[in-house]
């Protein structure tokens, strides 16, 4: 006699916000591998491009920054990829770009366990039944060092990039979510990677996820 199998749990999502140079991407990638989940950082841009027909390069040019909203008055002319290889220009709003990216995020989140880094995924998936929202910060000296290493720039240049990167991410997030990027109350868990390191942060999130998500 066969006994009924237990129902499979619905997919979980872990959404990671992060300061530039905090190691958030490295933490997200290691976490996804440790938990058997799919990892999406810039990958979601390529998925959104694939599903919408827009050029991946177009999504990347406007990734997580808000400066273009004011300079281009809300409309831009991307190049569409057509199956036959032809290209044509078409005006599309910034809101539409966000919607296309959000649709791609919801699509994969409904199908499998995922770790998302950035892209307002915590807001996009705010109604997801099994979501954990995390924010990664780090001490300025460690962030500058990491930016120097990854971007091959001087400490002075890295410090400028650090401040500009945070300002861009905050403007983008606050504009689309009506929330406040980096505010502790908006996340389930906030971690300083300078204190625990990349591997330590992964272990902390894993343990927290077990408690919250089951």
User: Structural domain boundaries of the chain?
Assistant: 13-51+94-213
Residue 160: what pLDDT?
97
Residue 3: what pLDDT?
53
Dump pLDDT digits (tens) for 33-92. Answer: 999 999 999 888 788 777 777 767 767 666 666 544 443 333 333 333 333 333 323 445
CA-nearest of 139, 138, 134, 140 to 121 is 134
What dotted CATH number matches 13-51+94-213?
A: 3.40.50.300
Mean pLDDT of 195-204: 98
Q: Is residue 9 pLDDT above 80, yes or no? A: no
Residue 96: what pLDDT?
80
Rg of the chain over CA atoms, in angstroms? 19
The whole-model pTM stands at 0.82
Residue 86: what pLDDT?
33
Dump pLDDT digits (tens) for 90-131. Answer: 445 677 888 888 999 999 999 999 999 999 999 999 999 999
- Burial of residue 27, with CB atoms counted within 10 A of its CB: 0-12 exposed, 13-18 middle, 19 or more buried: buried
For 24, list phi and psi in degrees, rounded to 5.
-60, -40
């Amino acid at each position: 006699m066969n006994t009924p199998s237990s129902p499979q749990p619905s997919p979980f999502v872990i959404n990671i916000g992060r300061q530039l140079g905090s190691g958030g991407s490295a933490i997200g990638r290691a976490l996804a591998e440790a938990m058997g989940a799919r990892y999406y950082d810039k990958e979601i841009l390529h998925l959104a491009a694939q599903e919408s027909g827009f050029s991946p390069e177009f999504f990347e040019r406007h990734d997580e920054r808000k400066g273009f909203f004011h300079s281009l008055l809300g409309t831009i002319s991307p190049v569409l990829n057509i199956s036959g290889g032809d290209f044509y220009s078409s005006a599309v709003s910034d809101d539409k770009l966000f919607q296309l990216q959000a649709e791609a995020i919801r699509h994969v989140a409904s199908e499998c366990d995922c770790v998302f880094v950035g892209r307002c995924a915590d807001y996009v998936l705010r109604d997801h039944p099994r979501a954990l929202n995390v924010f990664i910060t780090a001490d300025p000296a460690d962030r500058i060092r990491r930016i120097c290493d990854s971007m091959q720039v001087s400490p002075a240049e890295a410090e400028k990039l650090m401040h500009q990167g945070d300002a861009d991410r905050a403007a983008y997030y606050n504009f689309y979510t009506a929330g406040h990027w980096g505010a502790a109350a908006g996340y389930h868990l906030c971690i300083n990677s300078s204190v625990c390191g990349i591997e330590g942060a992964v272990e902390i999130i894993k343990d927290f996820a077990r408690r919250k998500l089951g």
